Amino acid sequence: MAPNIKKRMLVGTPMFVALIGLFLLDSVAAKYGLGGLPLLVLGWILISIGGYEAAQLLRSSGLAADRFLIPIGAALFMTAMLAVHARYTSLMVLSIFGVGFPAVAMIRPVLEGDLGKATATAAASTGIAVYLGAGLGSIFALQQDAGALVALMAVLAIKSCDIGAYFSGHWFGRTPLAPSVSPAKTVEGLLGGMLFSAVVLILAGEADLIMASRPQLLLVGMLLGVLGQIGDLAESVWKRAAGAKDSGSGLPGIGGVLDVLDSPMFAGPFAWWMMRGFGIADGIG
């Protein structure tokens, strides 16, 4: 086994177990009126670190990004996304964020006398804060709508594509997927990863964790798999532009927190929409 894979397994396995444990804890907390709190705390921690890493990547690629405001803005946007059962309140908070955050992001460049940098800082900082906050916020909104177990299955399906894509690409990969962005990714790997994601949801359905037909689970699983890979490629573009291999170095064999969040962030809003709209979340509380 390659040394890098060993590192990934040594770091990734405890993370995987901890994630499942936290979702189960959240499911128990819901019985006492505290559902969402454990996940929200985790979300604040992850999005703060991931936001800082994203800001560093943008700055390394020459874009003006506020590395202190981005984590704060992403956390605020994610929290606002959780108000799914108070939709008008949520809309109001998101509207205030949309107007106020760009203005706040301009303050530092203006005070420093760099007016030309103010607009670029506001645009870059707001864009990445919304991207991060909407992605993770959608996963937590799914938890609010459908329960912790359904949200957990969504995350597992998305991340399972990474595992399936790696081994499928290693064994069968021949056709490059996006060589200019991620040379190691192959079309065969993507297809294997999509199938792996679908199997995860189908098994969850067989265990009565998700209420949906097998064709629905197959379709949604494959869609979540490919959407997660798009998120992975999007982050790869940021890293290439910044001349970085990973978003950080805190997780040996994996990279940074953003390297873990890349696929759930992009696929999160689609998971929320599909797992409600296709009836997968029906009857799960």
Q: What is the pLDDT along the chain (285 residues), one digit of tens a residue?
A: 455 677 777 877 888 888 888 888 887 887 777 777 888 888 999 999 999 999 999 889 888 788 888 999 899 888 877 765 555 455 556 666 666 777 777 777 777 777 777 888 888 888 888 889 888 888 888 888 888 888 899 999 999 998 899 889 889 989 999 888 888 899 999 999 999 999 999 999 998 888 888 999 999 999 999 999 999 999 998 898 888 888 988 887 788 999 999 999 999 999 998 887 554 444 333
Q: What predicted TM-score, i.e. pTM, was given to this entire model?
A: 0.85
- The whole domain housing 81 covers 3-277
On whether residue 106 sits in a domain, the answer given is: yes
pLDDT of residue 231: 92
Q: Counting Cβ atoms within 10 Å, is residue 241 exposed (0-12), middle (13-18) or buried (19+)?
A: middle
Q: Is residue 91 part of a domain?
A: yes
Tell me, what's the pLDDT at 108?
75
The reply to whether 147 falls in a domain is yes
Q: Are 165 and 193 in contact (CB under 8 A)?
A: yes
Task: Assess if residue 282 is contained within a domain.
Answer: no
Identify the pLDDT of residue 202. Answer: 95
Residue 218: the pLDDT is 95
Residue 215 lies in a domain: yes
> In the 8-state DSSP scheme, what is residue 183?
E
Cβ pair 184, 169 in contact under 8 A:
yes
Task: Answer whether 145's CB lies under 8 Å from 281's CB.
Answer: yes
Q: Sign of torsion, CA 165 170 173 174? A: positive
Residue 64 lies in a domain: yes
Q: How many domains does the chain have?
A: 1
170-205 pLDDT, tens digit per residue, is 899 899 998 888 888 999 999 999 999 999 999 999
Residue 285 lies in a domain: no
Burial class (CB in 10 A: 0-12, 13-18, 19+), 7: middle
Is 132 inside any structural domain? yes
